[in-house]
Amino acid sequence: GFAIPTKEDIIEEKNVGLIRLRSNENPYGPSVLARNAMRDSINGSNRYNWELLEELIGKIAQKHNLTDQSILLGAGSSEILNLVALYCSKKSGNLIIAETTFDYWTVTAENAGLKKIAIPLTADKKHDLTAMLKAIDADTRLIYICNPNNPTGTLCASEALLNFINEATKRTKVLVDEAYLDFTDQPSLANLVSENKNLIIAKTFSKIYGLAGARIGYAIVHPETITEMNQLHFSASGSVSIPSASGALASLKDDKFVAETILLNAEARKYTIEQLENLKIRCIPSHTNFVYFSLENYNKDFFEQLKKNAILGTKIYEEKGKWSRITIGTMKEMKQFIKALT
């Protein structure tokens, strides 16, 4: 596959304005408020600005109706996922995870000794919560639920997920990754952590707020669990840079940017799915800023068509059915994408 951009891709991008539909970034970001705040923050970057980090933590906590002690910042939610992997592998055992999902971070868990148990998605590409619950044994240290799921764009039904968390957290830690939840109208599960030491929520500023390159995300966790996690990792929210924290803080005030992103994404996504289906490419209904589709009935070389048109896609995630994913860019980019396939 081609998950990591090659040197050639980067050179091409500089030369011909490559269309990047690979990594589920927000094509409109950062918001203007965030750009200005990041620019203004540069002069203060000679200082450790703990107060700013505390202010950001306070605003995040307020947004989720929690105490500051429930929030842990990271340089992207990837740092949070890695930290959870380390935290949950202090004792050897297994990690239950869907196949197919966002799993790059599980190398950390596997290197730390956890054995991966992969549970297939259902036929409609959703998490099989019943099977995942059944798979828990005395050695299970962590279950990962990506909601909505990357790369399939599917969402767990609210009530089923709540029941699952209620049952599963009696026996093991559950990590819910809400990287794309803001594209849906489903509420965050953040409010559950004050009563549940075994539930960890991962969030990011990379997607809806368009700050992927700024590297900022956070965990929402019971304060006692955060204390334990911090024993594994010296930085304790301090891996976030001042410009990134400033951008994130400003982003939280920019509701208009979020609303516009949701709207523009929904329009471009609707167009993309309709056009793909016209080309006999079957799509999974998406709750996110990307679409998962089967190339089984597409008779050209998909990746060659992208390459010829300077479009960066991803890879085949599942050989059976030839399932791939495309990020929803701007409407103009999606029109170029469809034209490339036609």
Please give, one letter per residue, the 3-state secondary structure of 39-84. HHHHHHHHCCCHHHHHHHHHHHHHHCCCCHHHEEEECCHHHHHHHH
Identify whether the C-beta of residue 324 lies closer than 8 Å to the C-beta of residue 317: yes
When asked if residue 77 is in the footprint of ligand PLP (CB under 6 A), the reply is: yes
Cα 246 from Cα 37, distance rounded (Å): 6
Q: Number of residues in contact with ligand PLP, rule: CB under 6 A?
A: 14
Largest CA distance in the chain: 57
178: contact with ligand PLP by CB under 6 A: no
Q: Which of 204, 251, 265, 324 binds ligand PLP (CB under 6 A)?
A: 204
Rule CB under 6 A: say whether 106 interacts with ligand PLP: no
Burial of 223 (0-12, 13-18, 19+ CB in 10 A): middle
- Spell out the residues 6+ positions from residue 10 whose beta carbon is closer than 8 angstroms to its own: none
Rule CB under 6 A: choose which of 179, 273, 291, 311 binds ligand PLP: 179
Sole window of 71-79, 130-138, 158-166, 273-281 interacting with ligand PLP (rule: CB under 6 A): 71-79
**Could you say whether residue 177 binds ligand PLP (CB under 6 A)?**
yes
Identify which of residues 100 and 150 has a Cβ nearer to ligand PLP in the complex: 150
Least separation in angstroms between CB 146 and ligand PLP: 5
Q: How far apart are CA 156 and CA 149, in angstroms?
A: 8
Q: Which residue is at the shortest CB distance from ligand PLP? A: 76
Using CB under 6 A, pick the residue from 29, 76, 247, 329 that binds ligand PLP: 76
Work out which of 87, 102, 144, 298 binds ligand PLP, going by CB under 6 A. 102
Residues forming a β-bridge with 71: 220
* Residues contributing to the site for ligand PLP (CB under 6 A): 23-24, 76-78, 102, 146, 150, 177, 179, 204, 206, 212, 217
